[in-house]
Amino acid sequence: MIEVEYIHGLALHESKTININPKIASKGGARPLTAAFKKAGQPVLSRIDNEEAIGRSRYDGLNISYRRRMSKRISVNTSYVLSKGVAYNGNAAAFRNRPTDPFDPFAKHDFGPVPTDERHRWVISSVAELPWGFQVSPILQLASARPYTGIQGFDVLGVGSGRGNAHIFVDDSDPNNITKYGGTDKKTIAALRACIAANTCHQIGFDTLRGQTFFQLDLRVSKKIRLGEKANLRLLSQFFDLTNRANFGNNFDGNVRDFNSDPTTNAFRTATGFITPNGVIVPKSFRAEFGAEFRF
């Protein structure tokens, strides 16, 4: 059996967090609502987050599946997915994913692939019925690296603690040099604001960096023992991540301020955790489990 399907999803009016009272760098860091609070005799607030139904995202995927029950008690299943998921500076739902500039929530550099985007994904599995009641079921998964965002690491635009950290800035004349304004240079903010004023630098796009390719091989082995005409005992063993590969996904340090030309101390673009740090679906390393099933 061969199946081919195409999926298109367009999401509008998703929740997106906007700071409606940011600092304005051109006005010395003043906030737009400060005067209104004072006039009303109310406490002057700093950042004010407003959940607005303006988030947008899109998904397109081509799924191809092949299944066949072969001779010699063997069946094969495989699938391939070619997909692309994009959004404005956020996950598929942009909740709590603020824009880099609250005055421009749909800036060009804020549009890019969502963190779970995997351009290619291939899975193949098989079930083999062997002599003496043994059954072997391997499954292999291979997927493209997931994206993550490179950030500058401080409030370059001077909008305050809006948590919409500016992306890495690069010179227009050298756009591939993403570490130029990294490190611990104390003049970095001044240099960045000068190049912004001169219109000679720009932010890299949302989620333009890629992490690590995903690879995992699992295996299930079982042995069936008949006990009379109706009852049977099945002994089970399952092995996860047989190759003991550490899958980090897109959990990488994207803060360019952590960059150091000395590879022994550089943290920028190095792994910070596993693809599912608190999950059990993707193991952190090789694991095995054993069990038994009695049927009657």
pLDDT tens string 48-96: 989 888 888 899 999 999 999 877 789 999 999 999 999 988 655 455 6
Residue 113 pLDDT exceeds 90: yes
Mean pLDDT of the 29-34 span: 92
Higher pLDDT, 14 or 219: 219
Q: Label residue 28 by pLDDT band (50, 70, 90).
A: confident
- CA–CA distances in Å: residue 146 to residues 70, 119, 205: 35, 8, 15
Per-residue model confidence (pLDDT) at position 55: 86
Q: What are phi and psi of 239, to 5 degrees?
A: -125, 125
Per-residue model confidence (pLDDT) at position 101: 87
Lowest average pLDDT, out of 177-186, 216-225, 244-253, goes to 177-186
Dig out the tokens for 22 from the structure: 């940011």
Dig out the tokens for 277 from the structure: 């740090």
Mean pLDDT of the 23-46 span: 91
Residue 183 pLDDT exceeds 80: no
- The burial class, CB within 10 Å (0-12 / 13-18 / 19+), for 293 is exposed
Q: Label residue 240 by pLDDT band (50, 70, 90).
A: very high
Per-residue model confidence (pLDDT) at position 277: 61
Q: How far apart are CA 97 and CA 253, in angstroms?
A: 18
Strand, helix or coil for residue 267: coil
Per-residue model confidence (pLDDT) at position 280: 59
| Residue 247 C-beta-side C-alpha neighbours within 13 Å | 28
Q: What is the CB neighbour count within 10 angstroms for residue 188?
A: 20
- CA–CA distances in Å: residue 274 to residues 154, 216, 280, 281, 296: 25, 13, 11, 12, 42
Q: What is the pTM of this model?
A: 0.85
Q: How far apart are CA 192 and CA 202, in angstroms?
A: 9
Strand, helix or coil for residue 239: strand
Q: Label residue 184 by pLDDT band (50, 70, 90).
A: low
Higher pLDDT, 100 or 215: 215
Residue 281 pLDDT exceeds 70: no
pLDDT tens string 85-96: 999 886 554 556
Per-residue model confidence (pLDDT) at position 185: 60
Q: Label residue 278 by pLDDT band (50, 70, 90).
A: low
Residue partners of 193: CB distance under 8 A and separation at least 6: 25, 156, 158
Q: How far apart are CA 130 and CA 141, in angstroms?
A: 23
Write the single-letter amino acid at 110: D
